[in-house]
Structure 1
Amino acid sequence: MLDLFPETENPVEIIPARKLAAQVAAVYVAPSDHFETRAVDELRLGFDGIDGDFHAGATRRSGGREPWYPRGTEMRNERQLSVVAADELAIVAQRMGIAEIKPEWIGANLLIEGLPHLSMLPSGTLLFFRGGVTIKVDAQNGPCRIAGRSVAENAGMADHEAGALLFPKAAKRLRGLVAWVEKPGRITTGEEISVRVPEQWIYRA
């Protein structure tokens, strides 16, 4: 049988899959006309995402994160939900010299606790909520100036433009994740989550 990974040529390290546990600390929804969110008692999710949310939809329009398409190209919406962790937001706030960053300011839908290094969960990670919902991680949520300006304004920073520019640097790899709905239903605050991290490897050609 052909050995696809001979030890003498670029060995590939395979990291086994694993299971983790977490909990929903809070849930949020954005109005249909603005990305900032507000706290609610529950999220109602369909295959298009959160009912009535700013980022709901089976498709979305491409933007600066997709330079390979002309801006505004219709594409699959893999950014239906924004997931963040309080400990990571606290680090970003400290780096920016402000007291706090609330999840609502940056359009978060889910605040999750109990998962170390949330933003580093790999693509394909599955979150199984006790109530029956399953969401799938697409990727890290790259911090942008729009969210940065919201942070600067809500935190009362003297220079909003400077805050908008600082946020992408301070929040790099700490901005949380974007995910999409694999199995719809309802998510409520306090709900337990079973997290399944997939097998991982680094691809080297």
Structure 2
Amino acid sequence: MTTTGDLFGPAFFPGRRLSGRVTAVLVAGQGGGTYDFVTAAVQDLTVTYEGIPGDRHYGLTRRSGAREPWYPRGTEMRNDRQISLLAVEELAEIAAGLAIPSVKAELIGGNIVVEGLPAFSMIPPRTRLTFAGGVVIAIEGQNAPCKYAGEMIAEAHPDRPAIALDFVKVAKRLRGLVGSVERPGVIMPGEEVVARIPEHWAYPAG
């Protein structure tokens, strides 16, 4: 349900709560090589205010890149990409679009995989994901698909070299979310996660 102030005003969407479940938690390697992008499943995931200890995206700050054209490349900035979150349903949708059996979360650098939260990648910024164990992740925005993640999938399908670029197109608005740790603790597979979606709006185009 939406409301608008006038014909050209923004559309407002009320806040709501949705419940899902964690299916997997993963951490990137610590080898210092290019494959540190790829994650591996763990039994439980400890998160601190800096993110995931040992993970590639750990830290209170990070260096700007292509996603931040308003900064010179390499500018130190707040780390809004500590955690990469994916949805089981969207991974299946990407796989169907690529005509492959599955897309594994670890190949595209996922840290937390959930199920049961519809249109997961469309959940708006400022949403809080509250995990049953007490952890809270603040959603910062969508995770745009990149060619590098596609290349990891292509390596698993050597007969499909074009899949790297196909992934960028197919995974648009399906590649999950990035977030930062608001309340630290431990996340376990199988635990409930509640998305506390605030009132939000679509800013008018003209």
Q: SS where residue 96 of structure 2 aligns?
A: helix
CA distance in 2, matches of 1:54, 1:134: 20
Q: Is the 8 A contact 2:11 2:203 kept in 1?
A: no
Q: Is the 8 A contact 1:29 1:40 kept in 2?
A: yes
Please state if 1:60 is matched with 2:58: no
Q: Is the 8 A contact 1:157 1:163 kept in 2?
A: no
Matching residue within 110, 115, 118 for 1:116: 118
In structure 2, runs of 5+ residues without a counterpart are none
In structure 1, runs of 5+ residues without a counterpart are none
Any idea what the Cα deviations from partners look like across 1:142-186, whole Å, max 9, x if unmatched?
0000000001112x23243x2211111010000000011000010
Please state if 1:28 is matched with 2:29: no
Please state if 1:153 is matched with 2:151: no
* Aligned residue in 1 for 2:100: 98
Q: SS where residue 49 of structure 1 aligns?
A: coil
* Aligned residue in 2 for 1:200: 200
CA separation of 1:6/1:44 partners in 2, compared to 1, >3 Å: closer, same or farther? closer
Task: Please identify, of 103-112 and 85-94, the stretch whose mean Cα deviation from structure 2 is larger.
Answer: 85-94
Opposite residue 190 of structure 1, the aligned amino acid is: G
The Cα RMSD (Å) is 1.4
Q: TM-score, normalised by structure 1?
A: 0.92
Q: TM-score, normalised by structure 2?
A: 0.92
* Aligned residue in 1 for 2:186: 186
Q: SS where residue 92 of structure 1 aligns?
A: helix
Identical pairs, percent: 50
CA separation of 1:46/1:6 partners in 2, compared to 1, >3 Å: closer, same or farther? closer
CA distance in 1, matches of 2:164, 2:109: 15
CA distance in 2, matches of 1:86, 1:6: 37
Opposite residue 175 of structure 2, the aligned amino acid is: R
Q: SS where residue 189 of structure 1 aligns?
A: coil
Deviation of the 1:192 alpha carbon? 0.8
CA distance in 2, matches of 1:35, 1:6: 45
Larger Rg computed on CA atoms = 1
Deviation of the 1:202 alpha carbon? 1.7
CA distance in 1, matches of 2:57, 2:141: 16
Q: SS where residue 26 of structure 2 aligns?
A: strand
Deviation of the 1:62 alpha carbon? 0.9
Task: Please identify, of 143-152 and 88-97, the stretch whose mean Cα deviation from structure 2 is larger.
Answer: 88-97
Deviation of the 1:6 alpha carbon? 5.9
Matching residue within 40, 43, 57 for 2:42: 40
Q: SS where residue 20 of structure 1 aligns?
A: strand
* Aligned residue in 1 for 2:129: 127
Opposite residue 21 of structure 1, the aligned amino acid is: S
Q: Is the 8 A contact 2:153 2:164 kept in 1?
A: yes
